[in-house]
Amino acid sequence: MLASRYRLLERIDAGGAGEVWHARDERLGRDVAVKILGGDADEAFRERFADEARRAASVSHPNVVTVYDEGRDGDDSFMVMEFVRGKTLRDVVRERGPLPSHEAARLVSQIAAALDAAHEAGVIHCDVKPANVIVDERGTAKLTDFGIARAARGPREHELIGT
């Protein structure tokens, strides 16, 4: 049990920065994904991880994985997100090969909509790639992993500046 709330069910992925788990939010009764940094991460990395959670949580869009919570439990820093049943776009392409043009166009359109929502929230993703897009069981693309995103600075292209 993580933070006396999240029951870890199954490890989904592991990498150099930590692990992602399918978990159950016992308080709200829903499945979630939990990204956990191990205890060996330094304080600066933990703060960047918390920043990632805050940036991602500021973006609300059907094609962006929703962030619900972030925090610490003992030596572990964690981020709680919407659990999406599906595969990364990278895995979909590896399994199926090139996608039909109509399907690729639909996914690209959804990813573009996710990026537009992020930009409207003042967040630039900075790492859009097939491994950071989950295609759910209905074929909907969801952008995830805002780990190296940054806050947008200055006016956006469509804004007028000056007098």
Q: What is the pLDDT of residues 125-141, one digit of tens each?
A: 888 999 999 999 999 99
Interior angle at CA 101, CA 134 and CA 62, nearest 5: 35
Q: Are residues 93 and 60 in the same domain?
A: no
1 located within any domain: no
Q: Is 73 labeled as catalytic in the residue annotation? A: no
The enclosing domain of 29 has a CATH number of 3.30.200.20
Q: Are residues 50 and 108 in the same domain?
A: no
Report the range of poorest mean pLDDT among 62-76, 85-99, 143-157.
143-157
Report the range of poorest mean pLDDT among 36-40, 42-46, 125-129.
36-40
The strand pairing partners of 123, in sequence order, are 151
160 located within any domain: no
- Report how many domains make up the chain: 2
pLDDT, averaged across the chain:
89
Which residue of the set 13, 75, 116, 127 is catalytic? 127
> Which candidate, 83, 67, 85, places its Cα nearest to that of 149?
67
Q: Are residues 51 and 64 in the same domain?
A: yes
Q: Are residues 10 and 57 in the same domain?
A: yes
Q: Are residues 96 and 124 in the same domain?
A: yes
Q: Is the pLDDT reported for residue 163 higher than 80? A: no
Over residues 4-23, the pLDDT tens digits come to 999 999 999 887 778 999 99
Q: Are residues 93 and 75 in the same domain?
A: no
Q: Are residues 65 and 31 in the same domain?
A: yes
Q: Is the pLDDT reported for residue 154 higher than 80? A: no
Domain range for 120 is: 86-151
Which of 35, 60, 82 is the last residue in one of the domains? 82
Burial of 59 (0-12, 13-18, 19+ CB in 10 A): buried
Map 120-149 to HEC letters. Answer: HCCEECCCCCHHHEEEECCCCEEECCCCCC
The enclosing domain of 110 has a CATH number of 1.10.510.10
